[in-house]
Structure 1
Amino acid sequence: MKKYSTLKGIKLFINGTILFVMLGLLSSVFTSLFNPDFVSIHPIVNIIFTLALVSFLLVILVNLQKVIRTIENNNSFNVKNIVHFKRISYSAFGIGILDLIVKYPGHDGNFDLLATSYGSVKPSVFVYLLFGLFTLILTEIFKQAIENKNLSKN
């Protein structure tokens, strides 16, 4: 029964994060529109980047919810979870690329992995890329588990 209490906590955290992401979207859009001096880039560009980021985050969170549902139903190793994990990994890669685009221009003096006179690559880019790679590895593990499950049935 402890497993299900952990899953309830994870579901609660994901739902809270979805709410927080949506509030962040509203806040960013209103700040860009009504206080454009507060954002460092053009307000429309800021809104586009914010929409892209929120889209990637929502894809990750919704697919995590779907994976949790299959765990609750004791059907973890199915083809749908492979699709969910692929979507999560592609979204993580998208966030990494978006992070690279947004944070590359300029040099703020913080820790940089690659710095030039035009900009710098921050370590956060690699966190997203590693998360995406980790999720792709999980996808392959789930594929093998499904294949083994199907072989054992035959």
Structure 2
Amino acid sequence: MKNKKRIRFLNGFLNIILVFTTLLFIILIFSAFKTADRNIINIILEIILGLIFFGSYFMITFTLKKILKLIRDKNPFNINNITYFKRIGYYIFIVGVTDAIINYPKPTNLGFEIMSTQYGSLKPIFFLYLVLSILSLILSDVFRMAMEIKQENDLTV
């Protein structure tokens, strides 16, 4: 019973994140066109980077909902979850690279910059994205191993 409540809560929370991500992208589009002193190339570039950034977040959340559905169906160790965790790892990496591109020229208030040049620097958050991406890929391998062990145990009856 406790597990079902947790799954319902997480599913509702992921739905809120999906709506919030969609709204943020719509706000980004409207704010890109609202500023009059920018040229069309900057507006298009901002929309493309925003689409990649928010689209990746949207896909991460959507893929997490698929994983949660398989957990709710009591089938967590199957080939789909392995694929989903790999996808999440790639999406997080894309978000990290996009964030690094967007925030490279912006100064940080933390006073901590990595690979700093006169034009910009990598921010520490990029390495967090990198670690989360690797973590998701490792989870994919763990789920693959668990699925193989489960299949071996099913055969030894």
Please say whether Structure 1 and Structure 2 have the same fold, judged by a TM-score greater than 0.5.
yes
Alignment partner, residue 23 of structure 2: 23
Q: 1:55 to 1:49 in 2, by over 3 A?
A: same
**Residues 107, 115 of structure 1: 8 Å contact kept:** no
Q: Secondary structure at the match of 1:42?
A: helix
Whether 1:10 aligns to 2:10 is yes
Alignment partner, residue 120 of structure 1: 121
Aligned Cα root-mean-square deviation (Å)? 1.6
**Residues 108, 123 of structure 2: 8 Å contact kept:** no
Give the whole-Å Cα distance in 1 for the aligned partners of 2:125 and 2:96: 8
**Residues 113, 122 of structure 1: 8 Å contact kept:** yes
CA drift of 1:46 comes to 0.8
Q: TM-score, normalised by structure 1?
A: 0.92
Q: 1:109 to 1:73 in 2, by over 3 A?
A: closer
Alignment partner, residue 77 of structure 2: 77
**Residues 93, 130 of structure 2: 8 Å contact kept:** yes
Q: Secondary structure at the match of 2:47?
A: helix
Deviations 1:53-94 (A, max 9, x none): 121111101110000000000000000001111110000000
Alignment partner, residue 145 of structure 2: 144
Percent of aligned pairs with the same amino acid: 33
Q: Secondary structure at the match of 2:11?
A: helix
CA drift of 1:108 comes to 4.0
The residue identity in structure 2 corresponding to 1:84 is: Y
Structure 2: 5+ residue runs without aligned partners?
A: none
Where do 1:39-50 residues align within 5 Å? 42-50=42-50
Give the whole-Å Cα distance in 1 for the aligned partners of 2:118 and 2:72: 51
Alignment partner, residue 57 of structure 1: 57
Give the whole-Å Cα distance in 1 for the aligned partners of 2:48 and 2:100: 15
The residue identity in structure 1 corresponding to 2:154 is: K
Q: 1:76 to 1:36 in 2, by over 3 A?
A: farther
Structure 1: 5+ residue runs without aligned partners?
A: none
Q: TM-score, normalised by structure 2?
A: 0.91
**Residues paired across the two proteins, number:** 152
